[in-house]
Amino acid sequence: MSSLDLSDFDPLGSDSALIVYIDYKSPYAFIAKDPTYAIEDQLGIAIDWRPLTLDIPSYLGSARLDDKGKVAESNRTPQQWSGVKYAYRDARRYAALSDYTLRGTTKIWDSSLASIGMIWTKAQGPVQLRRYCDIVYERFWKRELDIENPEVIEGLINEAGADTDGFEGYLVGDGRRIHDEMQARIFAAGVFGVPSYVVDGELFFGREHLPMVRWLLDGSKGNAPDIAYREFAG
Amino acid sequence: MTEITQTPDVPAFSFTSAVTLCVDFKNPQSYFAKDPSHTLESDFDLRIDWQPMLVPAMTRPPTRVADENRGTQHRRMRGEYYEKDLQRYARVRGLTLKNIYRNPDSTTAGAGLLWAKRFSADIVRGYVDRVFDRYWSELLDLEDPLAIGHLLDELGAEGNKFVEYARDEGGIELRELQGALRAAGLFNVPGYVVQGEIFYGRQHLPMIRWLLAGRPGKGPI
């Protein structure tokens, strides 16, 4: 099963009004999930969700914690550590508002299998994709999920209500090829982080831009809004 | 010189106001935070405790080269994006934003804020407005004590005495403040401190409002 034909893949273009790039190992992408759903539901649009599998060590250094949560290995600068620690504290306080658990990870995960699972599930429908995203995010951030295990990913797809027939081969064949080629093209197009939003070819990095994204999608009525983390429900 | 090294035994800054806001006049995000923070003050009838905090200036993204590795490419793209993003919201907000890569030593302008705080909240507000607006229109040299003194004079804040203050006591006071702020956990601007929590960036203002209002209903995410 080929979930995506890359011949007409445009990192900054889509048939959908909104492209959203996510990575399951990003706490900020996790926190952006529900406010982004809210915009999708309120405006009645179909979001083109896409995976951006981050290569974190290339820009933020790498680190691994031991069983007691102490740093076992690290090549991060003090400034990088300050930024990373703040990012987790920040994401955690917002996660708490939605009753989500957000535990710091003990290593930098390779989330490419989960990304390939996303591409596979997306091809089967938006309902299955949303369920898959919810399950992966919520369990991963409770440290209940090994997203580097192919069998685990297949189980999640099944649980999301999507067909898994052929997924095992896809994961190491077409899925891997499509994923890797997509990543190269996405990065080359200037999309470097998650969550990222693309409206009419314009890139917005971070959920603080959701007021602007919503304003653009809703016809640019009135004054353009400033950045803000805010509630969109209701 | 823009960074002041923290000494390990410096006591942490004690936050006594409902909202403390750390800014650096050469930092564009601090500039963008100014007006919405004034609105916060008005809406909640409070006085923000503005504190000068010196941070490194924005650095120009590296130039694209043929054999760029992924890390360099990432930093370049991120830098290019941030520049576009700043200009995008400057347009939205109707703000003038000249060269974002200038790197003045903002110590004197920071000392000016400490000096203004010796007078009144209105003078602090006037000082913050004028320094930010003029610097970002390239009409003010943040390193020039005479220019800062003149600006303080405009506000009725004894600018003539400021020059001496900036040369001696002001520099020491500012240096000690940097250590105390860092000891309290601050490392970036604009940094809001509300109810013991640090928030970097004006995008947190809905959360700050929610906290100040007593956490009614569901918080903003």
B141 and B77 within one domain = no
Mark yes or no for CB contact A190/B77 under 8 Å: yes
For residue B92, list chain A residues with Cβ-Cβ distance below 8 A. 212, 223-226
Domain boundaries, chain A: 13-58+109-217
B143 and B38 within one domain = yes
For residue B70, list chain A residues with Cβ-Cβ distance below 8 A. 55, 58, 187
B92 and B73 within one domain = yes
**Cα–Cα nearest to A30, from A145, A199, A124:** A145
Mark yes or no for CB contact A228/B206 under 8 Å: yes
Asked if residues B131 and B125 have their Cβ atoms less than 8 Å apart, the reply is no
Range of the domain at B64: 59-97
The superfamily in CATH containing domain A13-58+109-217 is Glutaredoxin (3.40.30.10)
Domain count, chain B: 2
B179 and B124 within one domain = yes
Mark yes or no for CB contact B81/A90 under 8 Å: no
B160 and B88 within one domain = no
B133 and B80 within one domain = no
Mark yes or no for CB contact B71/A59 under 8 Å: yes
Give the pLDDT confidence score for residue B4 in this predicted structure.
40
B146 and B37 within one domain = yes
State how far the Cα of A150 lies from the Cα of A147, in Å rounded to an integer. Answer: 8
For residue A100, list chain B residues with Cβ-Cβ distance below 8 A. none
Whole-number Cα distances in Å, A21 to A141, A207, B195: 18, 11, 34
Structure tokens at A213: 């994204």
State how far the Cα of A107 lies from the Cα of A104, in Å rounded to an integer. Answer: 9
B49 and B145 within one domain = yes
Mark yes or no for CB contact A58/B74 under 8 Å: yes
Asked if residues A196 and B76 have their Cβ atoms less than 8 Å apart, the reply is no
**Cα–Cα nearest to A46, from A121, A113, A130:** A130
B152 and B86 within one domain = no
Q: Which of A45-59, A157-171, B28-42, B94-108 has the lowest mean pLDDT?
A: A45-59
Q: What is the pLDDT of residues B23-65, one digit of tens each?
A: 999 999 999 999 999 999 999 999 999 999 999 999 999 899 8
Torsion of CA A206, A212, A218, A221, to 10 degrees: 180
How would residue B136 be classed by pLDDT, with cut points 50, 70 and 90?
very high
Asked if residues B74 and A192 have their Cβ atoms less than 8 Å apart, the reply is yes
Window 22-81 of A, Cβ < 8 Å to B: 31, 34-35, 55, 58-59, 79
B143 and B159 within one domain = yes
B83 and B50 within one domain = no
